[in-house]
A = this chain, B = another copy of it.
Amino acid sequence: MLPDASLADIHIEGETIRAVVPAGGTGDVASPAGCPVTAIDCTGKMAMPGFVNMHTHAAMSLMRGVGEDVLFHRWLDRIWNVESKIDAEYVYWGTKAACVEMLRTGTTLFNDHYWYASAAHRAAVEMGIRPVESYVFLDRFDENAAAVQKERCIKAYEESEGWPGRGMFTVGIHSIYSVSEKTMLWAADFARRHGLRIHIHLSETKKEVDDCMAAHGMSPVEYLDSLGMLGPDLIAAHTLWLSEHDVELLGANHVNCVHNINSNLKLASGYRFLYNELKAAGANVCIGTDGCASSNNLDILEALKTAAMVQKAWRGDPSAMPLGDLVEMATVNGARALGYDTGVIAPGKDADILIIDTLNTFFLSPGSPLANLVYSAHSSCIESVICKGRFVMRDGIVPGEQEILSEARKTLSKII
């Protein structure tokens, strides 16, 4: 979406947007001598930046429905039971399937929090989407597990040094209720020594807050603050149960707070996400889908609509979380959190662009195309996806989709 929904030509050279000029004119852009130029007619379509999914567990695309209609902590037991059986091959095909779904729903960059980072990275890169993978600590307060996980984290980091982008690896910490303080401190220190971001679940349920208060006399946010872990390099998923002081701390430390509305609703974790307050305090608020076992898909457009509607309803304010904010949450804010130069259609930015079909009933309206996209349309209107200058989905076709579905089904049948 161009800021004013105007007609324009977008010039892409290699991986980068070179210019955005009024439609039909040549503007000041000429192709370098001898370079082939491909023009794509987008009459009846709109363009907008690709979405950034700021919190997901991609390979859980194979775990939809593992725990329907049960409470968070029972659900988590079921998930961990399945996860005790998975391997790199499972993660590879699960991530491949997730990438099919993310491309179909317009995501071009995602922040993953899962196991077997190399397998997930390889799956995503093959699909042409940009992954940020993590090594996730989950020691359950066991020192032996912690020692093993530290070694694995170092190894995963070393493997990631061969990856094309330096921002593609983060240190994951499952949560304060599943990782010891000592391990968290080690992980944060490791991340900061190597310039890596930290990705954690934080204040997701009331139980997490209550347990933390009982154990430490502090909220989870205050607890992380006391450990020196808050900062602009921290990506905190959920941040749903917050005190005023928590909001101040997250804001003052410019923490990246990822709202995962569908997951919070479906697991009955809660819904009063303090968007206005977090934004005003200085936090960088982004959006995520969480994994498919909880939410149950990877559709950022659906997440945006639900997030906006639920904010409007519980605040009793139909102007809450307006359209412009929604788009920022799903694009530039995510790019900023991860340190990627994307999320806007503007010269010099990475060419991550969605082409959206508007010749359908959802856009039949006197309203703005952006309102129609978010409030009315489905992600099925996303016709083509360009990631770093390359078509990764064109006219609704994701190369290799049927083979991926078939291999994912085989992998699934081995585990479940």
Chain A residues proximal to chain B, CB less than 8 Å: 61-66, 68-72, 75, 97-98, 100-101, 104, 262, 264-271, 292, 296-297, 299, 302, 306, 308-310, 312-320, 322-323, 359-362, 364-368, 371-372, 375-380, 402, 405, 408-409, 412, 416
| Closest CB in chain B relative to A104 CB, distance in Å | 8
Q: Which residues in B have their C-beta under 8 angstroms from that of A69?
A: 312, 318-319, 322-323
The docked-state distance in angstroms from the alpha carbon of A408 to that of B308 is 29
Q: Which residues in B have their C-beta under 8 angstroms from that of A360?
A: 405
13 A-B pairs within 8 Å (CB atoms) are namely A62-B364, A64-B367, A64-B372, A70-B319, A265-B309, A265-B310, A267-B318, A268-B318, A270-B316, A297-B376, A299-B378, A361-B405, A366-B416
Q: A65-B366, A266-B308, A296-B371 are in contact. List 16 more A-B contacts (CB 8 A).
A: A61-B361, A62-B364, A63-B365, A64-B371, A68-B368, A70-B318, A97-B364, A267-B312, A271-B310, A271-B313, A297-B376, A297-B377, A302-B378, A306-B306, A359-B402, A366-B416
Query: Which of chain B's residues has its CB closest to A72's CB?
Result: B318
Q: Which residues in B have their C-beta under 8 angstroms from that of A309?
A: 262, 265-266, 306
The docked-state distance in angstroms from the alpha carbon of A306 to that of B266 is 9
Query: Which of chain B's residues has its CB closest to A404's CB?
Result: B361
Contact between chains at A101 and B361 (CB < 8 Å): yes
- Contacts A61-B364, A268-B312, A412-B366; is A375 near B97 (CB within 8 Å)? no
The docked-state distance in angstroms from the alpha carbon of A415 to that of B107 is 37
- Contacts A268-B316, A268-B318; is A412 near B375 (CB within 8 Å)? no
Number of copies: 2
- Contacts A64-B376, A319-B69, A378-B378; is A314 near B365 (CB within 8 Å)? no
The docked-state distance in angstroms from the alpha carbon of A279 to that of B316 is 26
Contact between chains at B71 and A318 (CB < 8 Å): yes
Q: Which residues in B have their C-beta under 8 angstroms from that of A270?
A: 313, 316
Q: Of B64, B266, B380, which is within 8 A of A365 by CB? A: B64
Interface centre among A63, A309, A360, A371 (most CB of B within 10 A): A309
- Contacts A266-B309, A378-B299; is A323 near B68 (CB within 8 Å)? yes
| Closest CB in chain B relative to A115 CB, distance in Å | 19
| Closest CB in chain B relative to A329 CB, distance in Å | 16
Q: Which residues in B have their C-beta under 8 angstroms from that of A322?
A: 69
The docked-state distance in angstroms from the alpha carbon of A97 to that of B306 is 25
Q: What 8 A-B pairs come out closest when comparing CB atoms?
A: A65-B367, A380-B380, A64-B365, A265-B309, A296-B376, A101-B361, A265-B313, A296-B375
Contact between chains at B306 and A367 (CB < 8 Å): no
| Closest CB in chain B relative to A378 CB, distance in Å | 5
The docked-state distance in angstroms from the alpha carbon of A62 to that of B371 is 14
| Closest CB in chain B relative to A370 CB, distance in Å | 10
Q: Which residues in B have their C-beta under 8 angstroms from that of A368?
A: 65, 68
Q: Which residues in B have their C-beta under 8 angstroms from that of A314?
A: 271
Contact between chains at B265 and A364 (CB < 8 Å): no
Contact between chains at B306 and A362 (CB < 8 Å): no
- Contacts A268-B313, A317-B268; is A405 near B364 (CB within 8 Å)? yes
The docked-state distance in angstroms from the alpha carbon of A64 to that of B322 is 16
| Closest CB in chain B relative to A327 CB, distance in Å | 14
Query: Which of chain B's residues has its CB closest to A270's CB?
Result: B313
Q: Which residues in B have their C-beta under 8 angstroms from that of A72?
A: 318
- Contacts A318-B70, A378-B379, A378-B380; is A362 near B65 (CB within 8 Å)? no
The docked-state distance in angstroms from the alpha carbon of A409 to that of B366 is 10
Q: Which residues in B have their C-beta under 8 angstroms from that of A359?
A: 402, 405
Q: Which residues in B have their C-beta under 8 angstroms from that of A268?
A: 312-313, 315-318, 320
| Closest CB in chain B relative to A274 CB, distance in Å | 15
Query: Which of chain B's residues has its CB closest to A371's CB?
Result: B65
Q: Which residues in B have their C-beta under 8 angstroms from that of A267?
A: 312, 318
Query: Which of chain B's residues has its CB closest to A65's CB?
Result: B367
Q: Which residues in B have their C-beta under 8 angstroms from that of A71?
A: 318
